[in-house]
Copies of this chain bind each other. A is one copy, B any other.
């Protein structure tokens, strides 16, 4: 039986690939592993059955036989360690690719999500106009450091890896902010990720879910 992941029954991003199941779908497509998807509603995510799988009541989860995992980073790493295509074989390069996964999730993503959340939930607050540039500048610091390291390379450290997969999905969350336009090399990097056939298959699959729910 193929593994089963969970995804939003009706994604708040309207199928633009921002929900975190996108990372897992993309990884599964890169390694060529078929998978099943179980859709969950926002209400069901907070019920005991789903909380047993995911203590924080979120998606995605991953079930394969006796194994149940949560956290997109952990699921992608689990897949990457067990299948070819997402991590270099050489031990040091492999450790560095994993370091980029952590950097995407723990260094790049927090200021990017914080900016996105403010743009979604604080627009009507009296402080929004004053705080927005502070949040933008916090994200810019990380974007500047990332583009300096990337330079003109295609990927962060040699061949495409799970580190790039995570970083591209994190940078895609800047979509409504407009910030990525200030960093053309990073915008091109994201476009390279989006051009991968595995990305496209994953994107189309999650978009199809949204379209079916929306119709």
Residues on A lying within 8 angstroms of B by beta carbon are 51, 55-58, 66-75, 77-78, 91-92, 95-96, 98-99, 101-103, 105-107, 109-110, 113-114, 125-127, 130-131, 142, 145-146, 148-149
Contact = CB atoms under 8 A, between A and B. Distances in A.
B106 A109 contact: yes
9 contacts: A55-B103, A67-B91, A67-B95, A69-B95, A69-B96, A74-B103, A78-B95, A109-B110, A125-B130
A57 B145 CA distance: 8
A56, A68, A69, A91 pick with most chain B CB within 10 angstroms: A56
Nearest to A105: B106
Contacts of A146: 55
A24 to B, nearest CB: 12
Contacts of A95: 67, 69, 74, 78
Contacts of A67: 91-92, 95-96
A65 B142 CA distance: 28
Nearest to A75: B99
A72 B55 CA distance: 23
Contacts of A78: 95, 98
A70 B105 contact: no
Contact of A126 (B68, B99, B110, B127): B127
Contacts of A113: 110
B96 A142 contact: no
Contacts of A125: 127, 130
B103 A71 contact: yes
A131 B125 CA distance: 10
Contacts of A145: 51, 55-57
